[in-house]
């Protein structure tokens, strides 16, 4: 366990690189798949809406497994739990390679989601283990900035591969990358939770931990911001392949190239967050700004046809602005949530991850019954999600401001008593 580390520490840089390795596995498995969805629908002779349900299956598996991995990682350690998750992921990829029907593919995506849950929950828990509070916001912003490159590169790479090869080739590449990542992490990833800090598995303790989280209002408000900002991210990632390839008649490679632009905006949001965190700007102010940006851009997107916006470059611009707002909201809400957790933070991160992925999966499942290839559907759904996040952060901000006023008035009163006592 390394504490009070400096940002230039060599071991910290190696640790961050290893975190990026296992985060990237999850990112590639998720995002290389999206350009292939219209082709999968054609190849398996099913509707676009049915293929979109495979995304929901992945997210639901993702959500459920985080509760499991968050709990066992507090008892068995972070590294062992991660390797178990990656083994499940590899099994899911093998099943996808052999899938010949949409039902088999949906099952494979669900199993992949079960494995991916380990990467999502454990990188945040390991950040919490490794970094002191004063560096945690910087660490989350920095690692999010780097990992945001993968959602840009993965659809682009997927689109290029699909020009010459089938969608099953994508899963073969993912299998090779996941196996290599497994070996690297097995050999070099340090354990961040010492044996002395681990707690034995106890059903009562687990139930008590989750019960405490559900009554922690500050924690839940940050989680609401995380859930609905992430839902906005998954909505545009799930909907844009259909919008670009069906509504605007672009091919998978052209889609993969265009989607890089919003991802660069997401990276910019990470850089801005890191800059503002270093200058001690309140997290709640940054989250509020991000939620407003998402809401405004989503509103314009929803009424794009009414405003006679029927150009894929303008739509890309609106999605790019939305991605900036998502980045500001999601990154800083994550940092705020982590700051509210104790040392054995597995259940807290797991519950956050569960709600994040389950919420996104349910929202996408609901949207899949509508016209998912419509800018109105994307804008309306994102606008509603951002509005809920906006309400949550306003409540956090108002509560915080009331506390500041209370402390100031209490300090004033204390000062008055001291003056009076010293006079008499």
pLDDT tens for residues 188-199? Answer: 988 888 787 777
Neighbour count for residue 84 (Cβ, 10 Å)? 17
pLDDT bracket for residue 172 (50, 70, 90): very high
Given the structure tokens 């407003």, which residue do they identify? 292
Q: If you average pLDDT over residues 300-326, what whole number do you get?
A: 86
Mean pLDDT in residue range 330-356: 78
Does residue 407 surpass a pLDDT of 50? Answer: no
CB contact at 8 A, 160 and 256: yes
pLDDT on residue 3 = 43
Q: CA 34, 166, 370: angle at the middle one, nearest 5?
A: 35
- Give residue-wise pLDDT tens across range 114-143: 998 888 788 888 888 888 777 777 787 778
Distance CA 358, CA 345 (A): 20
Rounded CA-CA distance 311/322 in Å is 17
- Yes or no: say if 327 and 290 are a contact pair by the CB < 8 Å rule: yes
All structural domains of the chain with their residue ranges: 11-191+205-423
d(CA 370, CA 156): 27
The token pair that represents 359 in the structure block: 């919420």
**Nearest CA among 363, 386, 393 for reference residue 301:** 386
pLDDT on residue 71: 76
11-191+205-423 is classed in which CATH architecture?
A: Up-down Bundle (1.20)
Residue 181: the pLDDT is 93
Note the pLDDT of residue 7: 46
Q: Which pLDDT belongs to residue 89?
A: 94
**Nearest residue to 288 via CA among 137, 216, 396, 401:** 396
**DSSP SS3 for 399:** helix
Q: Which of 15, 9, 145 is nearest to 78 (CA)?
A: 15
Percentage of the chain surpassing pLDDT 70? 88
Q: How far is CA 155 from CA 235, 253, 334, in A?
A: 15, 8, 25
- Tokens 């851009």 belong to which residue? 297
d(CA 349, CA 333): 12
**DSSP SS3 for 123:** helix
- What is the mean predicted confidence (pLDDT) over 246-265? 82
Phi, psi of 308 (to 5 degrees): 60, 40
- Residue 155 confidence class, pLDDT cut points 50, 70, 90: confident
Long-range contacts: 195-199, Cβ < 8 Å, 24+?
195/77, 197/1, 197/343, 197/344, 198/74, 198/75, 198/76, 198/77, 199/74, 199/75, 199/344
- Alpha carbon distance 41, 277 (integer Å): 44
What average pLDDT does the structure give for the chain? 81
């Amino acid at each position: 366990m390394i504490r009070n580390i400096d940002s230039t520490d060599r071991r910290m840089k190696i640790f961050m690189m290893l975190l990026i390795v296992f985060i990237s596995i999850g990112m590639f498995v998720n995002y290389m798949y999206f350009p292939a969805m219209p082709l999968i629908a054609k190849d398996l002779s099913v509707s676009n809406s049915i293929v979109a349900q495979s995304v929901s299956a992945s997210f639901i598996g993702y959500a459920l497994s985080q509760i499991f991995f968050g709990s066992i990682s507090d008892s068995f350690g972070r590294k062992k739990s991660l390797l178990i998750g990656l083994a499940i992921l590899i099994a899911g990829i093998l099943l996808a390679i052999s899938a010949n029907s949409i039902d088999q593919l949906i099952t494979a995506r669900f199993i992949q989601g079960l494995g991916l849950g380990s990467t999502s929950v454990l990188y945040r828990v390991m950040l919490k283990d490794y970094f002191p509070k004063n560096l945690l916001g910087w660490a989350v912003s920095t690692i999010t900035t780097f990992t945001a490159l993968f959602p840009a590169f993965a659809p682009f790479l997927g689109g290029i591969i699909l020009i010459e090869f089938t969608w099953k080739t994508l899963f073969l590449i993912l299998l090779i990358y996941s196996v290599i990542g497994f070996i690297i992490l097995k050999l070099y990833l340090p354990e961040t939770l010492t044996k002395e800090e681990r707690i034995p598995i106890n059903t009562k303790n687990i139930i008590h931990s989750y019960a405490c989280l559900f009554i922690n209002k500050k924690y839940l408000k940050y989680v609401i911001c995380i859930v609905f900002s992430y839902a906005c991210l998954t909505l545009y990632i799930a909907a844009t392949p259909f919008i670009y390839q069906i509504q605007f008649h672009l091919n998978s490679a052209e889609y993969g190239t265009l989607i890089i632009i919003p991802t660069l905006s997401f990276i910019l949001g990470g850089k801005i967050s890191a800059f503002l965190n270093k200058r001690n700007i309140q997290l709640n102010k940054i989250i509020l700004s991000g939620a407003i940006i998402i809401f405004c851009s989503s509103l314009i997107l929803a009424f794009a046809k009414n405003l006679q916006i029927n150009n894929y470059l303008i739509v890309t611009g609106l999605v790019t602005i939305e991605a900036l707002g998502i980045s500001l909201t999601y990154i800083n809400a994550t940092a705020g949530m982590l700051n509210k957790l104790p040392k054995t933070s597995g259940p807290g991160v797991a519950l956050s991850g569960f709600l994040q992925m389950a919420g996104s999966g349910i929202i996408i499942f609901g949207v899949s019954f509508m016209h998912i290839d419509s800018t109105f559907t994307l804008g309306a759904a994102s606008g509603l999600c951002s509005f809920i996040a906006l309400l949550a952060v306003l409540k956090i901000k108002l509560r915080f401001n009331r506390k500041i006023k209370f402390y100031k008035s209490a300090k004033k009163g204390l000062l008055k008593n001291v003056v009076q006592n010293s006079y008499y």
